[in-house]
Every structure is written in C-alpha cells, then in structure tokens.
Amino acid sequence: MKILIIGGGPVTQELLKAFDAERELKKSEIAIIEIDPERAEELSKEFDVIVIRGDARDISLYETQLSSIIPFNEFDAVLALTDHDEVNVFALTIARHYGSAVRLARVKNIRVGEVLSKLELGTPFIVPALISNFIKIYLQTLLQPKLIGETDDLKVYCLTISGTDRVVNKRIDEIQLPDDVKVLFVFDGTKLYVPTKDEVIKEGHLIYVLARTSDVNVISEVFKG
C-alpha cells in the first residue's frame, strides 16, 4: 500500500515509529510532504521514507515533484496530519480529485470536520472531540461499569480501573472471570489493543469487556470488588 502523509510533525513521527516497530515501513511506499527544511532533513535521517520538502498548498508540488517520484493517483491513502486545518482540507480535496481510496485528516475545529464529512472529502479525526470523549468515558466509568452497546445476547461494558480496584496489578489470567465474561480491549492512554492473557491490568487502564449478563453489578464485582 502506498501512503502519502502531509506534514511531518509529532503525529506523523509516532505513526512512522509504529510502522517501523512492526516492520511495515518500505521507502517505496511512504512519502511525506514537509514544509520545514530542518524537520524534513530529520525525517529523512530517522526513517526509511521519501521526504519531499515543499508547501502542501502549492498544487504544482503534486504535479511535478511528487509525480516524478510516485504519481498521485497511485497512492492508496492520503493522511493530512499538519497542525493547520486549512492545509489538511486542501490536501484531502486534491486527494479526492485524484481518486485516493482512503483520505484521513487531523482536524482541530469541529465545524471543519463536519464539512469534510458532508462534502465526502475524507474522514476527520477531530482532536479535541476525541480527547474529550475519552476523558468523559474515563469519568463515567470510574465508579461503575457502563453498558456501551449490545448485539443479540452479548453486551459490551466499559470501565476505568482505579488504584483500589481488586484487579489492579493482576494479570488477566489471574482474574477469576466468569465463563461468559471476556476482556476485549485495553486502552492505556496511548493505544487501544487486544490484550493477551499475560496482560497486567494497571491503574488508569480503560477496559472493554464482553459479557452475556445484563447485570452491571456482576461486572463491577469482578473488576472492582
């Protein structure tokens, strides 16, 4: 898969580190457009990717510099990750014009995100909304689990682990879970992932649980005591 990333800031660098850790980085498949010369040089030295120094608002950049390396219409995904909403919107507009299948943008303004979705320019990741929603879930589930969804007879609960909970600092395989209760996901503040049975539940973890019971008190008793 060929990926074009607009902006080489902290979000892009963390993404590249994640790709690198999983050995998914291939220089021929990832290109970054970065306007700052020092940052562009740093990216070139640290990661095995193509770095193009230039202004993402300059349409000629896509038609000349970029196309001489990888034609725009060959990118499967375009990620607009700069700190400027207007740059990200412009980049996704160009990406849609060239038919990129996946178009994602980091957005700070909720109204801008709504416009992106309405015009079908791409999928917005609205940073303030994402952060505030996670904080809300943390607060809502600190004292008692919350049912967040269900399908047929299966329920998904969410709960925040506090320092006084009975499962804190225990491995999942040490917790006496009922047969119909499974830990689906863990959010540790940096990533959401499927845990192994050896995963140690820590204070501050956000836990997503799959269960058949409709009694939230059963889930609370298992994890909080």
CATH code, 142: 3.30.70.1450
pLDDT of residue 28: 60
142 and 69 within one domain? no
**H-type alpha helices, 141-206:** none
* Residue 132 belongs to a domain: no
Mean pLDDT of the chain: 92
- DSSP 8-class letter at 161: P
End-of-domain residue from the set 102, 127, 152: 127
Task: Tell me the mean pLDDT in the region 64-84.
Answer: 91
Could you give the number of structural domains in the chain? 2
User: Could you tell me the pLDDT band of residue 106, with boundaries at 50, 70 and 90?
Assistant: very high
Q: Report the amino acid identity of residue 219.
A: I
Angle subtended at Cα 107 by Cα 117 and Cα 118, rounded to the nearest 5 degrees: 10
Q: Provide the residue range defining the domain that includes 191.
A: 138-223
> If you average pLDDT over residues 137-157, what whole number do you get?
93
The tens digit of pLDDT for each residue in 78-100 reads 999 999 999 999 999 999 998 88
Q: Which of 131, 153, 141 is nearest to 208 (CA)?
A: 141
Distance CA 175, CA 101 (A): 43
Tens-digit pLDDT profile for residues 1-50: 889 999 999 999 999 988 887 776 665 689 999 999 999 999 999 998 99
Q: Provide the pLDDT for residue 19.
A: 84
**75 and 185: one domain?**
no
% pLDDT > 90, the chain: 75
How is residue 128 written in tokens? Answer: 């303030």
pLDDT tens digits, one per residue of 135-144? 999 999 999 9
Query: What pTM value is reported for the model?
Result: 0.83
3-state helix vs strand vs coil in the chain, percent to 5? 35, 25, 40
